[in-house]
Amino acid sequence: MWQKISYEEFLSKAKAVVVGHAVADAVGVPYENSRRRDLDKDPAVDMVGGGYYDMPRGSWSDDTSMSLCTLDALAKAGDDAGELRVCTLANFRSWLQNSEFTPTELMFDCGITCANAIEQGYGETAERCNGNGSLMRIHPYVLKNFYDINLKGEADAPRCLEFVADGSKMTHAHPRSVLACLLYAGILTKLLISPQKSSVQEGLKAAVDAIYATKDGGSLIYDFVRRELEEKKTYKRVFDGIENVPRDNISSSGYVVDTFEAAIWSLMTTSSYRECMLAAVNLGRDTDTVAAIAGGMAGALYGYDAIPADWRDGLLKRDYIESLCASAFPAF
Give pLDDT tens digits for 38-72: 999 999 999 999 999 999 999 999 999 999 999 99
Domains along the chain with CATH numbers: 7-328 (1.10.4080.10)
Spatial distance between the Cα atoms of 74 and 245, rounded to a whole number of angstroms: 38
Long-range CB contacts (within 8 A, 24+) of 158-163: 158/210, 158/213, 158/214, 158/217, 158/219, 158/220, 158/221, 160/185, 160/210, 161/210, 161/211, 161/214, 161/219, 161/221, 161/225, 162/219, 162/220, 162/221, 163/81
**pLDDT for residue 21:** 98
Q: What is the per-residue pLDDT for 231? A: 79
Contact criterion met (CB below 8 Å) for 224 and 178? yes
Q: Which amino acid is at 330?
A: P
How high is the pLDDT of residue 99? Answer: 97
Burial class (CB in 10 A: 0-12, 13-18, 19+), 56: middle
E strands, 225-324, are none
Chain CA centroid to CA 242, Å = 18
Please tell me the predicted confidence (pLDDT) of residue 220.
44
Find all residues with CB under 8 Å of 259, minimum gap 6, and list them: 132, 135, 136, 252, 253, 286, 289, 290, 293
Give strand pairing partners of 124: 172
Per-residue pLDDT of the chain (332 residues; tens, 9 = 90+): 567 899 999 999 999 999 999 999 999 999 999 999 999 999 999 999 999 999 999 999 999 999 999 999 999 997 788 999 999 999 999 999 999 999 999 998 899 999 999 999 999 999 999 999 999 999 999 999 999 988 877 667 777 888 899 999 999 999 899 999 999 999 999 999 999 999 999 999 998 888 877 655 554 444 555 566 677 889 999 999 999 999 999 999 999 999 999 999 999 999 999 999 999 999 999 999 999 999 999 999 999 999 999 999 999 999 999 999 999 998 87
φ and ψ at residue 155, rounded to 5 degrees: -95, 140
**Amino acid 203: pLDDT:** 95
- What's the pLDDT score for residue 125? 92
Is residue 322 within 8 Å of residue 29, measured between CB atoms?
Answer: no
